[in-house]
Chain A
Amino acid sequence: MFSFFINFEKIYILRFPLCFIKMENSKPRLTEGKLRTVEKRLVDVLTKMGYLKGGSRKASEITAHIYVNQEVTQKILRKLTGYSLGTISIALQALEKQGVVRKHSHPDTREYHYELDGTISEIKFRSLIDVQRYFSQIKEFLREIEAKLSRPDLSEKKGYENIRRLLDEMKVLIPAYEWVMQRFQTFASDVEAKREV
């Protein structure tokens, strides 16, 4: 009975400082937990945005982590997403091509670091300018299709009307979008100038 008491006391004495340390640590851990919850929600929102634009879920999630972390390596992305290095590498190549990230080799480790190429607004604004380049490529391509479709014997063939309708609709829509993009660029620059003032 006595020995049990001593043991109990020992346990108590031993445990008390641990409990104290635990209480001291619990607040920072709670704060860290809250921040990680916000981070996860942010990644989810960005992933959803990418998916609803037509990106794959994996590529959208990888992009979301880059937006949040601003600079990453393939290894970091693998740790964050659990995706294979192959999947990550393909997604990064596409993002480089789209002008979302730029890569540089770390002088000490020689490992590639992928850095967000500007703020989110700057990247999105640049993509609007790229859309104009896309439109001019579409117009040029559709001119070639138009020429192929102009052969008189094709107009009676099944499916001709479907291609014709697409070409006619594009002919109206593309100039309309070009005009909107020009106007929006002026609007966005004005807003930015006002913010700076």
Chain B
Amino acid sequence: MTSSKAVQDPNGFDPEIRRIEQEIVGFFAEKSPEFTGRHPIIATVLTYFDIRRSLTQEDLQKLTGFSAGTISKSVRQLVDMNVITKETIPGTHKHIYRMEKLPFTSARYFFMAERLIEEMEKELKEMKETLDNEAEEMKGVKGYQKIYTTVTQLLKLISTMPMLMALIDEEIGKFMKENK
């Protein structure tokens, strides 16, 4: 997914290091979609942030060879995912995107923000309430049972999230301390 054309490195990386970096990016661009469902372009851009931490859209275009539109969409998605932040470069209209720390050092990234889970749970509960209250009339309508099953299964799944998030934060915290 990455361009092999020799372009000037935005951070002045040595060509040999750059080749190693491209190998790492290539690995995650191939494996991450298979195991996590992440899009290869998102996996590519994310890995560059894992390595370089601060990048502009222009830098990313040079590194990946993707179009300006693709890069713009990717960084917007990573901001929505809470993985990077966007700042304006003082005195310019340009933006710089930063990754403070590896995203999976916190469960809040791995399973989306807590607030988002709460919002989804609230919405699913509202849906279930409608489906329960109108069960008599709705039962005969095509698709009712499938929709009901999906809503209840999702609610069950979401209820285990806080425990998993607490477990991750606790264990990752311990490991980080021990290995400092």
Cβ of A187 within 8 Å of any chain B Cβ, yes or no, is: yes
Known interface pairs A31-B137, A45-B120, A159-B11. Does A176 touch B81 (Cβ–Cβ under 8 Å)?
no
Cβ of A85 within 8 Å of any chain B Cβ, yes or no, is: no
Cβ of A18 within 8 Å of any chain B Cβ, yes or no, is: no
Chain A residues closer than 8 Å to B59, beta-carbon distance: none
Known interface pairs A45-B120, A53-B36, A163-B51. Does A176 touch B171 (Cβ–Cβ under 8 Å)?
yes
Cβ of B68 within 8 Å of any chain A Cβ, yes or no, is: no
Cβ of B42 within 8 Å of any chain A Cβ, yes or no, is: yes
Cβ of A49 within 8 Å of any chain B Cβ, yes or no, is: yes
Cβ of B7 within 8 Å of any chain A Cβ, yes or no, is: no
Number of interface residues of B (CB under 8 A): 69
**Is the beta-carbon distance between B102 and A173 smaller than 8 angstroms?**
yes
Chain B residues closer than 8 Å to A67, beta-carbon distance: 150
Cβ of B176 within 8 Å of any chain A Cβ, yes or no, is: yes
Known interface pairs A52-B116, A176-B172. Does A157 touch B16 (Cβ–Cβ under 8 Å)?
yes
**Is the beta-carbon distance between B102 and A169 smaller than 8 angstroms?**
yes
**Is the beta-carbon distance between B123 and A45 smaller than 8 angstroms?**
yes
**Is the beta-carbon distance between A54 and B167 smaller than 8 angstroms?**
no
**Is the beta-carbon distance between B17 and A163 smaller than 8 angstroms?**
yes
B42: nearest chain-A partner, CB-CB? A54
Dominant secondary structure of chain B at its interface with chain A: helix
The number of inter-chain residue pairs (CB within 8 angstroms) is: 182
**Is the beta-carbon distance between B51 and A134 smaller than 8 angstroms?**
no
Separation of A148 and B33 alpha carbons in the complex (Å): 25
Interface-central residue, A69, A133, A169, by most chain B CB under 10 Å: A169
Known interface pairs A52-B81, A166-B50, A187-B167. Does A131 touch B160 (Cβ–Cβ under 8 Å)?
no
Separation of A149 and B157 alpha carbons in the complex (Å): 42
**Is the beta-carbon distance between A163 and B116 smaller than 8 angstroms?**
no
Cβ of B31 within 8 Å of any chain A Cβ, yes or no, is: yes
Dominant secondary structure of chain A at its interface with chain B: helix
Separation of A82 and B164 alpha carbons in the complex (Å): 37
Chain A residues closer than 8 Å to B14, beta-carbon distance: 154, 157-160
The residues in A between 140 and 197 inclusive whose CB is less than 8 angstroms from any CB of B are 141, 145, 148-149, 154, 157-160, 162-163, 166, 169, 172-173, 175-177, 179-180, 183-184, 187-188, 191
Separation of A67 and B153 alpha carbons in the complex (Å): 10
Chain A residues closer than 8 Å to B134, beta-carbon distance: 31, 34-35
Number of interface residues of A (CB under 8 A): 66
Cβ of B20 within 8 Å of any chain A Cβ, yes or no, is: yes
Q: Kindly list the 4 A-B residue pairs having the minimum CB-CB distance in the complex, ordered from nearest.
A: A159-B13, A54-B38, A176-B175, A159-B17
Q: List B residues at the A interface (Cβ < 8 Å).
A: 9, 11-14, 16-18, 20-21, 23-24, 27, 31-39, 42-43, 46, 50-53, 77, 80-81, 102, 104-105, 112, 116, 120, 123-124, 127, 130-131, 134, 137-138, 141, 143-144, 146-147, 149-151, 153-154, 156-157, 160, 163-164, 167-168, 171-172, 174-176, 179
28 A-B pairs whose Cβ atoms sit less than 8 Å apart in the complex = A31-B141, A34-B130, A35-B147, A38-B131, A52-B80, A53-B36, A53-B38, A53-B81, A54-B36, A54-B38, A56-B39, A98-B35, A131-B35, A134-B31, A134-B35, A134-B36, A154-B16, A157-B17, A158-B17, A162-B52, A163-B51, A166-B50, A172-B176, A172-B179, A173-B102, A176-B176, A180-B172, A183-B167
